[in-house]
């Protein structure tokens, strides 16, 4: 597991963590828009943890590891950072929280402040014999990681001295045995990462608990101050090392002068100030001509491993009061004796070049990003700083590197939102117009529907009044509609069905008409070819004339069936067929007229008289 991680389910995509990260170790995925920690770039400062109010950013939890150690049957010592009085302002006597820690199952509970005293002594020696070389204190792990990863040229300027946590662990191992397991308790997250660099024989710390995790363990095991008696730390006891949580506390522990005129050390605390100090020392080492005592946070008072809502100056006061009390009760002779004895420990340290600087993207790419952001002129690219970058140009570089998204720029995001709002307004306006047009269309459609309904009623009436039979069939040869003459022609059974299902809708044609007629319908539906004036015998073997025609090819066909025995049809058909004979004879007469002469004229006169005579017959 990485030191710090982001719970994607809790993340609200506010990108506060991305903005606050000093080294761009949080990458925003382009597709999901969820930020993620790039562990190799992380310096463990915990700024992202502190700023994330939803609690989506979490750090490595050492509680289970600690409980496993305490239940293993081995000797386990707790090394407690001196910032603890500020974490527990409600506990007025430090001996109460010592006993609370001991009740968790620790064999020994020791102060980290004696380790600070040892380290402070080494710094006093190093600064006094620097031979023109200026150092950066290596007490804050986040500072060390920052230099290793982003300013490796300054690694030689990191003081080659172990941090107080490791010095205290070496003391515990020497005093209580190399097999003693150690859990460090403090305000810092990056110490969890720093501890993993050291081996069993070199001051190893087996687990690092933050004050937050310590409180959670107290709650889990129902350990309360009111239920316990006093208990003292196990020796050796610290001196001014208990001031370490305050940034210049280590200098006071080393009796290093902070006089502005005569002193040789500059104390710097806070994220921005620390970064500025490193940049300036790298750029002007000989002109600055000072050592730097650097802390990423304001000392350890407000570290990311402390409880939220703490008050810095109250914590400062509580730590100073605690230190005064400890120093007043300290056996100075015993302390000096222990200091001399443990100074024989190897407190040297080395650092690793872990260069994580990304290559600079092409200028053209950065310029393209600036144009996207709407920062075309140099004046535009100065920036507001809300994104966490010093300028729009630096932000554009991070975008070009693929670490952040343009939407993290507040002005760009606001512009896009306004642009989006304008588009939405346009869309809304267009929708109103469309809605008005739809209303008109709907009204017109209703009118057309009324007309269509009236037309349909008229057509239905006409179909029912026709003296001939009419029907429509679908592709399955089921009746869509049949008029009353057809129903009457089909007989009593069809009449009964028609009373239940008007127009015989849905009836199978095969069950109502003879097979030959059914076959004719099948042919027309299948081939789309019409059949006109086909004489057929139906039902009682009466002669009928049928015409079948396509209405929708292969889908719907219509038919007109005429009863040739009907007087109206018979008269009409006789006239029609005699007319056809006349037309054919006339055609023949035209061909042989020169042969027939007057005989043809007499024939025509005779035929016409027959027609006129028949028309008068009722």
Under 8 Å between Cβ of 281 and 136? yes
Helix (H) / strand (E) element for 266: namely: strand 265-269
Residue 571 pLDDT: 57
pLDDT in tens, 163-199: 999 999 999 999 999 999 999 999 999 999 999 988 8
Helix (H) / strand (E) element for 36: namely: strand 35-37
Q: Which is higher by pLDDT, 549 or 127?
A: 127
pLDDT in tens, 283-296: 998 889 999 999 99
Q: Which is higher by pLDDT, 535 or 69?
A: 69
Instruction: List, in sequence order, every residue forming a beta bridge with 295; answer none if it has no partner.
Output: 269
Residue 450 pLDDT: 79
Give the three-class secondary structure for 598. Answer: helix
Average the pLDDT over 370-379 and give the result.
67
For the chain, give the mean pLDDT.
Answer: 85
Residue 390 pLDDT: 66
Structure tokens that stand for 240 in this block: 């001014």
CA distances from 167 to 114, 119, 184, 407 (A): 8, 7, 12, 46
Residue 382 pLDDT: 60
pLDDT in tens, 94-105: 999 999 999 999
Going by pLDDT thresholds of 50, 70 and 90, the confidence category of residue 604 is: low
Instruction: List, in sequence order, every residue forming a beta bridge with 480; answer none if it has no partner.
Output: none
Highest mean pLDDT among 269-273, 400-404, 434-438, 485-489: 269-273
- Which residues are CB-contacts of 321 (< 8 A; sequence separation ≥ 6)? 85
Under 8 Å between Cβ of 4 and 17? no
Residue 337 pLDDT: 97
Q: Which is higher by pLDDT, 581 or 300?
A: 300
Q: How far from the centroid of its chain's Cα atoms is residue 534's Cα?
A: 73
- Is the confidence at residue 461, as pLDDT, over 80? no
Pick the CATH number of 466-565 from 1.50.10.20, 3.30.450.20, 3.30.300.30, 3.40.50.920: 3.30.450.20
- Comparing 61-342 with 466-565, is the CATH topology the same? no
Residue identified by tokens 């992202």 is 48
Sequence ranges of the domains in the chain: 1-60, 61-342, 358-406, 466-565, 570-615
Tell me the percentage of the chain whose pLDDT exceeds 90: 48
Going by pLDDT thresholds of 50, 70 and 90, the confidence category of residue 585 is: low
Write down the CATH number for the domain with range 1-60. Answer: 3.30.70.20
User: How many residues belong to the chain?
Assistant: 618
Instruction: List, in sequence order, every residue forming a beta bridge with 266; answer none if it has no partner.
Output: 292
Residue 589 pLDDT: 45
Comparing CA positions, the residue from 413, 409, 407, 417 lying closest to residue 392 is: 409
pLDDT in tens, 517-531: 888 888 988 888 888
Under 8 Å between Cβ of 124 and 256? yes
Write down the CATH number for the domain with range 61-342. Answer: 3.40.50.1780
Residue 618 pLDDT: 46
Rounded to whole angstroms, the Cα distance separating 210 from 186 reads 5
Residue 440 pLDDT: 85
Average the pLDDT over 103-120 and give the result.
97
Comparing CA positions, the residue from 352, 373, 464 lying closest to residue 415 is: 373
The backbone torsions φ and ψ at residue 456, rounded to the nearest 5 degrees and listed phi first, read -65, -40
Residue 341 pLDDT: 96
Under 8 Å between Cβ of 210 and 97? no
Going by pLDDT thresholds of 50, 70 and 90, the confidence category of residue 555 is: confident
Residue 617 pLDDT: 47
Going by pLDDT thresholds of 50, 70 and 90, the confidence category of residue 45 is: very high
Going by pLDDT thresholds of 50, 70 and 90, the confidence category of residue 575 is: low
How buried is 250 (Cβ within 10 angstroms: 0-12 exposed, 13-18 middle, 19+ buried)?
Answer: buried
Rounded to whole angstroms, the Cα distance separating 143 from 149 reads 10
């Amino acid at each position: 597991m990485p030191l710090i991680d982001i719970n994607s389910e809790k993340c609200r995509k506010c990108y506060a963590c991305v903005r606050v990260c000093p080294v761009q170790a949080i990458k925003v995925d382009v597709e999901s828009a969820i930020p993620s920690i790039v562990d190799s770039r992380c310096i463990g400062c915990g700024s992202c943890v502190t700023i994330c109010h939803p609690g989506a950013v979490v750090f490595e939890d050492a509680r289970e590891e600690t409980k496993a150690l305490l239940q293993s049957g081995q000797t386990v010592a707790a090394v407690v950072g001196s910032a603890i009085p500020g974490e527990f302002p409600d506990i007025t006597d430090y001996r109460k929280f010592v006993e609370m820690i001991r009740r968790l199952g620790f064999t020994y509970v020791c102060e980290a402040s004696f380790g600070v005293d040892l380290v402070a002594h080494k710094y006093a020696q190093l600064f006094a014999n620097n031979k023109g070389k200026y150092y950066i204190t290596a007490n804050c792990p986040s500072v060390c990681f920052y230099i290793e990863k982003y300013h490796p040229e300054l690694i030689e300027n990191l003081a080659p001295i172990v941090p107080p946590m490791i010095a205290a662990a070496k003391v515990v191992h020497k005093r209580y045995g190399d097999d003693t397991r150690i859990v460090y308790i403090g305000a810092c997250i990056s110490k969890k990462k720093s501890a993993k660099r050291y081996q069993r024989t070199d001051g190893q710390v087996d687990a690092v608990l933050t004050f937050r995790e310590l409180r959670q363990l107290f709650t889990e095991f129902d350990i309360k101050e009111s239920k316990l008696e006093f208990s003292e730390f196990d020796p050796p006891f610290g001196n001014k090392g208990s001031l370490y949580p305050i940034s210049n506390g280590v200098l006071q522990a080393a009796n290093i002068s902070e006089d502005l005129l005569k002193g040789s050390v500059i104390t710097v605390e806070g994220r921005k100030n620390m970064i500025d100090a490193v940049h300036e020392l790298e750029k002007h080492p000989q002109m600055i001509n000072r050592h730097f005592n650097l802390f990423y946070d304001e000392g350890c008072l407000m570290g990311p491993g402390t409880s939220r809502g703490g008050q810095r100056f109250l914590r400062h006061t509580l730590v100073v009061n605690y230190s005064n009390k400890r120093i007043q009760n300290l056996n100075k002779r015993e302390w000096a004796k222990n200091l001399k004895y443990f100074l024989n420990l190897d407190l040297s340290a080395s650092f690793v070049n872990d260069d994580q600087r990304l290559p600079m993207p092409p200028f053209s790419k950065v310029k393209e990003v600036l144009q996207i952001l709407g920062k075309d002129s140099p004046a535009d690219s100065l920036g507001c700083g809300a994104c966490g970058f010093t300028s729009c140009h630096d932000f554009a570089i991070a975008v070009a590197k693929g670490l952040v998204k343009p939407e993290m720029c507040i002005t760009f995001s606001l512009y896009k939102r306004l642009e989006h709002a304008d588009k939405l307004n346009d869309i809304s306006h267009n929708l109103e117009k469309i809605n008005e047009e739809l209303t008109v269309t709907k009204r017109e459609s209703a009118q057309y529907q009324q007309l269509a309904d009236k037309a349909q009623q008229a057509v239905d009436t006409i179909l029912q009044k026709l003296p001939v039979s009419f029907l429509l069939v679908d592709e399955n040869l089921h009746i869509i509609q049949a008029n009353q003459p057809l129903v009457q022609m089909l007989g009593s059974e069809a009449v009964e069905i028609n009373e239940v299902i008007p127009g015989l809708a849905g009836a199978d044609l095969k069950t109502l008409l003879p097979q030959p007629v059914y076959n004719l319908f099948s042919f027309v539906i299948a081939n789309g070819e019409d059949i006109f004036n086909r004489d057929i015998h139906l039902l009682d073997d009466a002669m009928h004339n049928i015409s079948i025609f396509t209405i929708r090819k292969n889908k719907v066909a219509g038919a007109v069936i005429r009863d040739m025995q009907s007087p109206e049809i018979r008269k009409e058909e006789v006239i029609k067929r005699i007319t056809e004979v006349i037309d054919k004879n006339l055609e023949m007469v035209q061909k042989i007229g020169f042969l027939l002469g007057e005989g043809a004229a007499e024939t025509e006169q005779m035929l016409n008289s027959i027609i006129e005579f028949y028309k008068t017959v009722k």
